[in-house]
Chain A
Amino acid sequence: MSADPLQGLASVGKGQSTRSLLRVIILALIAGAAISSRLFSVIRFESIIHEFDPWFNFRATKYLVANGFYNFWDWFDDRTWHPLGRVTGGTLYPGLMVTSGVIYHALRALTIPVDIRNICVLLAPGFSGLTAWAAYLLTNEMTPSSSAGLLAALFMGIAPGYISRSVAGSYDNEAIAIFLLVFTFYLWIKALKQGSMLWGALCALFYGYMVASWGGYAFITCLLPLHAFVLICMGRYGTRLYVAYTTWYALGTLASMQIPFVGFLPVKTSEHMPALGIFGFLQLLAFLDYVRSAIPSRQFQTFLWLFAGGTFGLGLLGLVIATSAGFIAPWSGRFYSLWDTGYAKIHIPIIASVSEHQPTAWPAFFFDLNMLIWLFPVGVYLCFQQLADEHVFIVVYALFGSYFAGVMVRLMLTLTPVVCVAAAMAVSALLDTYLSAKSPEPQEAQAAESSEGKKATKSGLRSTSKPVVGVYGLWGKSMMVSALAVYLLVFVLHCTWVTSNAYSSPSVVLASRMPDGSQHIIDDYREAYQWLRQNTHEDAKIMSWWDYGYQIGGMADRPTLVDNNTWNNTHIATVGKAMSSREEVSYPIMRQHEVDYVLVVFGGLLGYSGDDINKFLWMVRIAEGIWPDEVSERAFFTPRGEYRVDGEATETMKNSLMYKMSYYNYNNLFPPGQAVDRMRGARLPEVGPTLNTLEEAFTSENWIIRIYKVKDLDNLGRDHASAAAFDRGHKKKKVTKKRGPRVLRVD
């Protein structure tokens, strides 16, 4: 797996055709390694869609396959966001679903009967092989050494930073988007180097495909103009840049506007304005370039001042007018949170509540990239040494990507390709230096030295002008090479370990170890969703926190109130309010939204950390953002500022619907007074909470999922509290006490 045998083989095969054959075989092997290292989850568990978002993609793909492309395009989904519904066809990136739909129909046409689920599960590993190939192509544009490309393909194939989003079953937009990202960059470099319209158009087409696949396309939209801008600032404006950039922009923008979800954004939002600005700027430069060739330089200066001043004034005026008149939308919240990491926490809790939008902790870089992270600067340095247009691209991409990877965890994904490319350049430079066994003859060296001597007196650094200084002993070389080989092997070990331990859990199915070391599968999620599917009416509305919306839609096939699309903050806040308020407040909300069942996730019995009590504060915060008078985050903390669930918990906490649903009947599992929440390590009060408006419908084997049925209105017109008290056998006296002061007259 390390580069050594590759290098050795490459030097054995001297002929051109042998080499290209070897290259193809090596690339195929790398693709095979990339695919097979992503199959841990399929082997350990089964061929299943992972996590949350993939379930929606899977559901949409099934809809596409069943109903055809046009129905999919116009899909209005009334089974999510009840009662609002969602214009799903116009609010998703269709690239992923269309890709798997095409593969499905192609295989069908070849009379290979294959389940759409298996295509969806294996799509990401399949595309990772293509990504490795794209990384090979991109690196080959940077350096003449072909081993760098193969190394880059290898790194790209097994780097955990990319595997994290592309294991089998992780059927998410990123699965194909990273391939498209790298390939678009390759085409851009190609277009820039050749100055060819055709490559520019291909770049635009793949950019369009990228826009159709992932919201992260804005990264390309910003990076290419930035590259062009840096080139212009370095005085490297040329006709090739003009041809490549303008072709890409003109075609690519049109292509991106074909996606209904993107629509007019490229001409309206500020994220896309740099690309437009550079486009206009290049027109000016091309014109100035022509004029400069036509008139003498002195006149050109006058011309330049007049022209540039006029254009700048006009442009500024236009921008001010457009912004004040509202033609250009202000920057969106997610954009602000890229610059100010505290912004989202203050202003938009719904963005901050997603864990992958958190800033990256520094060990994550090492965890995801291992030795590549310290080879990365070396590669960037090598780029600085040559600094042709394409190397500037790597430098710009490295800076840009590093910053954004530091701001948001998920953007590690966009950094990984450039790290792989740069690190591969560094490693191949090392290997090329130390693997060549021949050393120069002493006379040759002297001759070279004497011929260089004259030049050396002129140029400053002696060492740079003397090419023959170096290590030529076989001993030193072999030491160096074997050290590098050990690093590469350790890298492979690390990648495999990370993939197997950290990134291969479906999170729908949990695994634990029995005392004897055998694996124990915890399958509560599917148990509960299956229960919903079999025991509830087809149109029963399920209320849950938005994290589980896609899974309920995908696995249980029941309408939900909110899901992971999070397009309507108010609706989510409504659910948050229902969860965090007293029953008397929540019940009308649930009635208004026709909720039939409420689903909560409870990890107290098992010690499962991703449960709703741990997410509860986000519900409170989001609800507080809309109803600051009725929901207050402070009321959920004890006077000492602790978030507690035991006997010391605040009254607000104890009376909230979420708390009651989580701990309802929980103390019956334990001997009296010994109920313990294993997740939070808290001893619960002896008397559990009472529920008046809900009744327990289902609790899964390990209590992870609890489903409650919303009671209908009481037949006798009592309120639920008194009806429930009556059922429990309390005397009516308690009811009269609750009635309060007598009202004499009611208008």
Chain B
Amino acid sequence: MAPKQRNAAAPSSTAAAGPSPAATATPSSPSSPAAVPKSAIAKTTHAGSIQSWDKIVNNVLTHYLDTTPQRTKLLDAFMAFLVAVGALQFLYCILAGNYPFNAFLSGFSATVGQFVLTASLRIQTTEANKGDFPSVSPERAFADYVVCSLILHFFCVNFIN
């Protein structure tokens, strides 16, 4: 794990030294061992917080793209969609008022609840977490997910008025 982290840290520091801290460079150049001391120097310079912030984001992105299986990415896309929908509803609530409060609440909590359930499914199906859930196989997790979603949407539809 350690060399990988160092590798991941390297390109971002070089990118930060340049004029445009673009995230496009991250997946392409994972090998530049000479940059390791350089990153330490870069940290000492001022405006370091923004640079390290970029670095962190880049690292997380790299890690994500490298280690996440395709199916989990699908789940993540769904979660991102839910976040977008929830944010949209919240924005509407702020801008246009919450008049049918039932409707707003059930819509918003449908997105939040679905997000949470999807996150739970994602956690339970991730390989790294297998030790935490000895009694939950991925199939069981999916069945649970379906049942919980049904309950959630039953309540939402009942509450929407």
**Cβ A194 vs Cβ B135 within 8 A:** yes
Residues in chain B near residue A283, CB distance under 8 A: 116
Q: Which B residues touch A200, using CB under 8 A?
A: 148
Which B residues are in CB contact (< 8 Å) with A253? 109
B156 CB contacts on chain A under 8 angstroms: 254
* A233 close to B (CB within 8 Å): no
**Could you name 5 residue pairs across A and B whose Cβ atoms are closer than 8 Å?**
A257-B105, A291-B56, A295-B59, A295-B63, A302-B49
Instruction: Give A242 to B105 CA distance when docked, in angstroms.
Output: 23
- Asked whether any CB of chain B lies closer than 8 Å to the CB of A195, the reply is yes
Contact surface of B with A, Cβ cutoff 8 Å: 5, 8-9, 49, 52-53, 55-56, 59-60, 63-64, 101, 105-106, 109, 112-113, 116-117, 119-121, 123-124, 128-129, 132-133, 135-136, 140-141, 143-145, 147-148, 151-152, 155-156, 158-159
- A299 with B55: CB separation less than 8 A: yes
Judging by beta carbons under 8 Å apart, are B120 and A247 in contact? yes
Interface 1/0 per residue, A241-261 and B, CB below 8 Å: 011001101110111011000
Query: Chain A residue with minimal CB distance to B123?
Result: A239
Distance from B73 Cβ to chain A, minimum over Cβ atoms (Å)? 14
- Whether B136 contacts A247 by the Cβ 8 Å rule is no
CB contacts (< 8 Å) of B123 on chain A: these are 239, 242-243, 286
Contact status A197-B117, CB under 8 Å: yes
Chain B nearest Cβ from A240, distance in angstroms: 6
Tell me the nearest residue of chain A to B133, going by C-beta. A195
Complex interface: chain A residues within 8 A of B101 (CB):
264
Known: A196-B140, A295-B63. 8 other contacts (CB 8 A): A194-B133, A196-B135, A197-B120, A197-B141, A250-B152, A267-B105, A286-B119, A302-B49
Q: Is A371 an interface residue (CB 8 A)?
A: no
Cβ of B120 to closest chain A Cβ, rounded Å: 4
Q: A243 touching B9 by the CB < 8 A rule?
A: no
Asked if A251 contacts B151 (CB within 8 A), the reply is: yes
Bound Cα distance from A251 to B112, whole angstroms: 10
Query: In terms of DSSP, what is the predominant structure of the interface of chain A?
Result: helix
Q: How far is the CA of A255 from the CA of B159 in the complex (A)?
A: 9
A250-B136 contact in complex given A197-B145, A198-B148, A239-B129, C-beta closer than 8 Å: no
User: Looking at the complex, which one of A205, A238, A247 makes contact with B117 (CB distance below 8 Å)?
Assistant: A247
CB distance from B145 to the nearest CB of A (A): 6
In the bound assembly, the distance between CA atoms of A302 and B133 in angstroms comes to 31
CA distance A299 to B62 in the complex (A): 14
Q: Which residues of B sit under 8 angstroms from A302, Cβ to Cβ?
A: 49, 52-53, 56
Q: Report which of A238, A251, A296 forms a contact with B113, defined as CB distance below 8 A.
A: A251
**Nearest Cβ in chain B — how far from A283, in angstroms?**
8
A293 contacts the other chain (Cβ, under 8 Å)? yes
Chain B residue, CB-CB nearest to A306: B53
For residue A201, CB closer than 8 A to chain B, the reply is: yes
Report which A residues bind B (CB closer than 8 A): 194-198, 200-201, 204-205, 238-240, 242-243, 246-247, 249-251, 253-255, 257-258, 264, 267, 283, 286, 291, 293-296, 299-300, 302-303, 306
The residue from A240, A251, A257, A295 contacting B133, defined by CB atoms under 8 A apart: A240
On whether A247 and B148 interact (CB within 8 A), knowing A194-B136, A295-B56, A302-B56, the answer reads yes
Pick the contact of A243 from B105, B120, B140, B143 — CB < 8 Å?
A: B120
A322 to B119, CA, bound (A): 28
* Beta-carbon contact of B49 and A250 below 8 Å: no
**Measured CA separation A293–B126 after assembly (Å):** 13
A197 touches B144 (CB 8 A): yes
Contacts A201-B147, A247-B117, A254-B109 given; does A306 touch B55 at CB 8 Å: no
**A254 with B128: CB separation less than 8 A:** no
Kindly provide the distance from the CB of A476 to the nearest chain B CB, expressed in whole angstroms. Answer: 42
Q: A257-B105, A294-B59, A303-B56 are in contact. Are A197 and B148 (CB under 8 A)?
A: yes
Q: Which residue of B lies closest to A208 (CB)?
A: B155
Q: Which residues of A contact B124 (CB under 8 A)?
A: 195, 197, 239, 243
Q: How many angstroms between the C-alpha atoms of A205 and B148 in the bound complex?
A: 10
- Which of B8, B49, B52, B136 is in CB contact (< 8 Å) with A195? B136
Chain B residue with the shortest CB-CB distance to A204: B151
Q: How far is the CB of A553 from chain B (nearest CB, A)?
A: 31
Once the chains bind, are A196 and B56 in contact (CB under 8 Å)?
Answer: no
Closest to B59 in A: A295
> Which residues of the partner chain B approach A250 to less than 8 Å between Cβ atoms?
109, 112-113, 116-117, 152
Query: Which chain B residues border A246 with CB–CB below 8 Å?
Result: 116, 119-120
Contact B113 A294 (CB under 8 A): no
Question: Of B49, B59, B120, which contacts A306 at CB under 8 A?
Answer: B49
Query: Smallest CB-CB separation from B8: which chain A residue?
Result: A295
Name the residue of chain B whose CB is nearest to the CB of A246.
Answer: B116
A247 to B106, CA, bound (A): 16
Shortest distance from the beta carbon of B66 to any chain A beta carbon, whole Å: 9
Q: Which residues of A contact B121 (CB under 8 A)?
A: 197
What are the residues of chain B within 8 A of A240 when measuring CB–CB? 132-133
Chain A residues whose C-beta falls within 8 Å of the C-beta of B136 in the assembled complex? 194-196
Min C-beta distance of A296 to chain B, whole Å: 5
Cβ contact within 8 Å between B132 and A291: no
Bound CA span A255–B128, Å: 33
B64–A294 touching, CB < 8 Å: yes
Closest A residue to B1 using CB positions: A296
Contacts of A201 in B (CB 8 A): 144, 147-148, 151
Nearest-neighbor residue (CB-CB) of A197 within chain B: B144
Inter-chain CA distance A238–B123, complex, in Å, is 11
Residues in A with CB closer than 8 Å to B128 are 293
B135 touches A299 (CB 8 A): no
| Shortest CB distance B19–A (Å) | 23
Q: CB-nearest residue of chain B relative to A241? A: B132
Alpha-carbon separation in the docked complex, A293 to B158 (Å) = 40
CA distance A255 to B153 in the complex (A): 11
Measured between beta carbons, the chain A residues less than 8 angstroms from B49 are 302, 306
**Chain A residues in 8 Å Cβ range of B143:** 198
| Distance between B36 CB and nearest chain A CB, rounded to angstroms | 12
Which A residues touch B141, using CB under 8 A? 197
Minimum CB–CB distance for B80 against chain A, Å = 13
**Interface residue from B9, B55, B140, B152 paired with A254 (Cβ < 8 Å):** B152
